[in-house]
Structures are given as structure tokens and as C-alpha cells.
Amino acid sequence: MSIQALEWPKEGNSRVPYRVFADPDIYRAELDRIFLGPSWQYLALADELPEPGDYKTSFLGETPIIVTRGDDGEIHAMVNRCAHRGNLVCLKRRGHSDDGLTCVYHAWRYDLTGNLTSVAFRRGVGGKGGMPEDFRLESHGLKKLRVDQFAGLVFGTLSDETPPLSDYIGNLIGSRIGRVIRGKPKVLGTSSQTLHNNWKLYIENVKDTYHASLLHSFFTTFQITRLTTAGGVAIAESGAHHASYTKGLLFYVANDPHVPLVLRDEMKKWGLARDEFVDNGNWPYQLYIREGRRMVGGFVMTQRDIQTDITKPDAIAMGSYNSDSHNVQRFEQADRTVQNEGNMEVPVEPYQIPYRVMLPSRTQATNLLVPVCLSASHVTYSTLRMEPQYMMIGQAAGVAAALAISEDVPVQEIDITALRRILKAEGMVDRYDSTTAPSVPAFSTSK
């Protein structure tokens, strides 16, 4: 196919001729070279297909595809066109099948990896008709895609020339994807809409970062977007991918005119560490999140258990770090001053941590121990959340699990005396006496 020469405006890439968005020959070339060419295309979230037999349908450009979770537990993808007459094999947007995929037109049946497994009337009827003798099922499967995953995102390509997915995405964009998609998502539902436009218009909408403050009033009403906001668009070395970013609180304090000048000047003395995360613009890959969802078990450890009722018969470890929490918000008072809210820094005496803090309710689980997302209130978790406590509680969880298995009992019914005896033999400290506490020697260097 030849495409008529296109004369680009003298202003350069900042001026795109309308023909680029409307010429059918250009569009056809894009489908062949981009969507069906050596590039990875997003197909699904891996968690959209949790069970073997689950499937969903999508498109590579205009080419219909099927994405499945095979009996082998792996995710597969293939073109949604029957090898017989090109009819759609899967008609639904998503579903589940325990016996493969069947084309409704002539009942050709495929397994969940796209292999043809059976053909109706393959041997004919009454010795008449049927497929020729040299017909081979393995030669007539669905056209398969190469499939790979990155941070729970499933990608596919029809080209053998496409580089490995991790190389294709690269560190610059991959680090940002990994920062956002770290947990296991829970798919609550899906929605979609049809946009009657060339695909490039939507891509341009995503890359156009200044229309948000003009079109979406939410951003300006809540000052998510401000004229003093800094940021940019990070573009991969290949030019194929980009990520938009915004510099947040620290830049705001250093530059926004609403902030008193003395604070701006002080903040401008600080910045990102030049020698850290050098391949990510000096930005860290992860956010520090010290508290998230916690279990609500049969026993919930509260403020009383770290301040007054500090001894426990089922103690498995001790804690002593301050009960502290950073500010939650700042609000303006009637006298125009600003008040911090949510901060607390309360010293505690060494307290015992009970085995019960790891236990779910009996009605929920009898074979689960939770040594990190403990059954504790916000105030109590603010002191429990330290690495030494995680290690001590984790060690106790391991011993308790072994006891539950050997005794063949629920974790709520293990022998606590035996648990504490084993932990003490392994060095557990469950008492603190300030008069006999060992001193900590000062650090010294030896020659």
C-alpha cells in the first residue's frame, strides 16, 4: 500500500495536518504497523481472570481477541476469529467456560490456549463428506499472541520482532507503573464507552496536561491544579511511552506566593538527593505508608493495653516505642491561625504484646495468623508498627503455626504455655526492670 506524500506544516511537529486524523490509508498503515506490528498492547488486568476457564474479549486496533486463564493457570491470548470461516468464537465481553471455546457457526471447538480440539462431522456422515485425510487439528488453531505481564498488567503482541516486555517498557516508565500498582487489585466492576473519533485524538487528550484546569473544575476548586504547580511529562528513550507527573507539597511550599516568603526561602534550601534514584529523576520508587488496613479479630489491642493494662498472660513479645502519629490535616481557625490536627507523640513504658493480637475471629478463620496487619486500634498500631516488633511477632507466629499443625488444633486453641516456653528458650524477653536493664555500650572503632 502506498500513501500519498504528506506535506507537513512549516511550524513542525506542533502543527498536525487534519489529514493525519482522517486519511483511511494512514489509518490502515497505523493498524498494521502499530497495533499489529512490533509493539506490546494492553489486554487486561491479570486479576480480571482469577480462575482457570475465565475469559474476556478485547481488541488490538480493530482485530478482535480473546484473553483466557488456561487450565495451566497461565494467561493466554488469541485472535477471536474461527479458523474455519472467520466467525467470532466468543460473543460475550467476558465469561467462564469449563470445556473450552466453541464457535457457534459450525461448532469448531478450541481449548483455552487456542488449540483446535474437535470439528463437527470431521469424518462426515454415513461415509460421505467430512474433512480430507490430511486434515490436522494442530494446523488450524486460533492465531496466538505472545503474552507477558508487568505489575499485574497483561500485554500481548502478534509480532515475533517485539522486544521483551520489560525492555519495551523500560526503567523510566516501569518504575512509575511499579510505584502505583503494588498491591493486588480488587475488580469491583467495569464500564466502557465508545468514542467516535480517530484513536490518536484520545492519546492526545491524555498527553494534553493543561486542559484539565480549564475543563475539569474539580482540579481548580480543590487546588489540585495550580498555576504554581510544577511537573512535566517523562518520555521513554524509545519515545513510545510517557508518564505525566506533578511535584507536590515540597514544591508548593517553596514556590507558591500564598506561602510566607520566609518559609519559601527556607524550603528552597532543600531538594531531592542528587545521588539517589538517579534513573528516576531522583524521585523514590515507593511511597512510605506506615499504616493501612488492619484486622479486627476477637481481641483488639487498644490504648489501654500500651499505657495501663500492660501485662498479658499470653505475652509473646514486648514493645516500647512512642505512640505517635503524624498530622492528618491542617485547618484555619477563626483568628486566621492554622492548627495541625491528628498529631500525637506519647511516650509509653515497655508493654507486653499478647498472642491474641494475631488471631482472627473463630467465625472467620481458624488457620490464619496475622503478624503485621494486627488486630489493633490506630493509637496502638502507631507503636506496634516497628520492625523489631514485626520480627518478634513473626517469630512467634512461626512457632504457633508449628504447634497448631503438630497438635492438629485451630490457632486459637494452641497450648500458650508451650508457645511461651519455646519462645523463652529462643531468647524472648517479656519483662522489663529499669533497675536491672543492661546498659548499651557506646559504639567504638577498633584499629
- The domain of 212 spans 199-280
| Domain assignment of residue 178, yes or no | no
Identity of the residue numbered 340: N
| Domain assignment of residue 52, yes or no | yes
Give the per-residue pLDDT at 220.
74
Average pLDDT of the chain is 88
Out of 280, 295, 326, a domain closes at: 280
Residues 233 and 316 in one domain: no
Number of CB atoms found within 10 A of residue 290's CB: 11
Mean pLDDT of all residues in 107-112: 96
Residues 335 and 233 in one domain: no
Better-scored residue on pLDDT, 299 or 285: 299
Nearest-CA neighbor of 258 among 233, 229, 231, 216?
A: 229
| Domain assignment of residue 174, yes or no | no
Diameter over CA atoms, the chain: 100
Residue 349 grid cell: 513504658
| Domain assignment of residue 182, yes or no | no
Mean pLDDT of all residues in 421-444: 72
- What pTM did the predictor assign? 0.62
Burial classification of residue 297, based on how many CB atoms lie within 10 Å of its CB (0-12 exposed, 13-18 middle, 19 or more buried): buried
Residues 318 and 421 in one domain: yes
Burial classification of residue 259, based on how many CB atoms lie within 10 Å of its CB (0-12 exposed, 13-18 middle, 19 or more buried): middle
379-390 tens-digit pLDDT: 999 999 999 999
Contact 212, 227 (CB under 8 A): no
3 state DSSP class of 157: strand
Number of domains in the chain: 3
Give the per-residue pLDDT at 445.
40
> Residue 138: which CATH number?
2.102.10.10
Q: How would DSSP label each residue in 210-279?
A: SHHHHH-HHHHHTTSS-TT--EEEEE-TTSS-EEEEE--HHHHHHH-TTS-HHHHHHHTT----TTSSGG
Cα–Cα distance, 218 to 216 (Å, whole number): 5
Give the per-residue pLDDT at 1.
47
Sign of CA dihedral 167, 170, 173, 175: positive
3 state DSSP class of 149: strand
Residues 336 and 406 in one domain: yes
Residues 360 and 247 in one domain: no
Residue 295 Cα distances to 158, 384, 392, angstroms? 45, 14, 18
Helix, strand, coil percent content, the chain, rounded in steps of 5 = 30, 20, 55
Confidence of residue 164 (pLDDT cuts 50, 70, 90): very high
Nearest-CA neighbor of 153 among 132, 129, 173, 124?
A: 173
Residue 36 grid cell: 499489529
| Domain assignment of residue 389, yes or no | yes
Residues 237 and 269 in one domain: yes
Residues 259 and 310 in one domain: no
DSSP-derived pairing of the beta strands 242-246 and 315-319: unpaired
Nearest-CA neighbor of 406 among 395, 393, 394, 419?
A: 419
Confidence of residue 29 (pLDDT cuts 50, 70, 90): very high
Q: How would DSSP label each residue in 365-421?
A: -SS---SSS-SB-HHHHHHHTSHHHHHHHHHHHHHHHHHHHHHT--GGGS-HHHHHH
Radius of gyration of the chain (CA): 31
Residues 358 and 274 in one domain: no
Give the per-residue pLDDT at 331.
83
223-254 tens-digit pLDDT: 667 777 777 777 887 888 888 777 777 888 88
CB-based burial, 391-418: b 16+ in 10 Å, e otherwise: ebbebbbebbeebbeeeeeebbebebee
Confidence of residue 441 (pLDDT cuts 50, 70, 90): very low
Cα–Cα distance, 348 to 91 (Å, whole number): 63
Contact 74, 68 (CB under 8 A): no
Residues 318 and 273 in one domain: no
Residues 275 and 308 in one domain: no
| Domain assignment of residue 6, yes or no | no
Mean pLDDT of all residues in 138-161: 95
Number of CB atoms found within 10 A of residue 227's CB: 8
Residue with cell 523463652: 424
215 HSE (CA, 13 A, CB side) = 6
Give the per-residue pLDDT at 249.
77
Share of the chain above pLDDT 90, in %: 57
Question: Kindly report the CA angle at 357 between 356 and 358, in degrees rounded to 5?
Answer: 90
Residues 222 and 122 in one domain: no
Give the per-residue pLDDT at 443.
37
84-101 tens-digit pLDDT: 999 999 999 999 999 999
Mean pLDDT of all residues in 338-351: 89
| Domain assignment of residue 142, yes or no | yes
58-74 tens-digit pLDDT: 999 999 999 999 999 99
Residues 120 and 74 in one domain: yes
Cα–Cα distance, 207 to 355 (Å, whole number): 52
| Domain assignment of residue 414, yes or no | yes
Long-range pairs for 30-37: beta carbons < 8 A, 24 or more residues apart: 30/61, 30/199, 31/61, 31/62, 31/63, 34/61, 35/60, 35/61, 35/62, 35/63, 36/60, 36/61, 36/63, 36/158, 36/159, 37/159
Phi and psi at residue 308, to the nearest 5°: -120, -50
